[in-house]
Amino acid sequence: MIIVSQSQIDELTKKYGDNFIRFMENQSGGLESLYKSWRFKNWLAICFSKLEISNDLVDKIEVNIVTFSQVFRTMPDTFEAVTQREVLQTGHFGSLWTARIFVNREIPHNVMRFVSKNGITQDFQIEI
């Protein structure tokens, strides 16, 4: 369970609005889900910026299926899924900002591998 402080609730209220926060409090997962999604998006932005600091865009993200199913269902507004046919043909599960997302069984749980357009690869331990 995550403890959400009043300052964090105030920040979320400012970002999403008071009615949205009240609505989320009544949903399953409530503010905890919203806070995890918000923290994860910030962590992703940091990972992207570490690779893109040299003007090289992130082209691909690789994760294992467990991490994929746990992480990307928390952010349906950012993650763009593809059709089942495309998943079966190419292994491409969807897109996140500039990156295509692939599932790779060799990637450890709670690790995401970021690959830039120039082939630079960096693994990040998920921190949320």
The pLDDT tens digits for 4-20 are 566 766 776 676 666 55
Q: What confidence score (pLDDT) does residue 28 get?
A: 46
- 19 against 37, higher pLDDT: 37
Q: 78-104: per-residue pLDDT in tens? A: 777 777 777 777 878 888 888 999 988
Residue 41, both tokens: 């998006």
Of 110, 115, 112, 77, which Cα lies nearest the Cα of 98?
115
Which has more pLDDT, 127 or 104?
104
Nearest Cα neighbor of 74 from 102, 46, 42, 33 is 33
Binned at pLDDT 50, 70 and 90, residue 107 comes out as very high
Query: Which residue segment(s) compose the domain that 28 sits in?
Result: 6-125
Domain count, the chain: 1
- 31 in Cβ contact with 9 (< 8 Å): yes
Over the chain, what is the mean pLDDT? 77
Is residue 27 situated within a structural domain? yes
Burial of 105 (0-12, 13-18, 19+ CB in 10 A): exposed
Average of per-residue pLDDT across 19-30: 53
Residue 53 placed within a domain: yes
Q: What is the pTM of this model?
A: 0.68
How open is the CA angle 94-16-82, to the nearest 5 degrees? 10
**Residue 32 confidence (pLDDT) above 80:** no
Position 65 pLDDT exceeds 50: yes
CATH number of the domain residue 79 falls in: 3.30.2320.10
Q: Is residue 1 part of a domain?
A: no
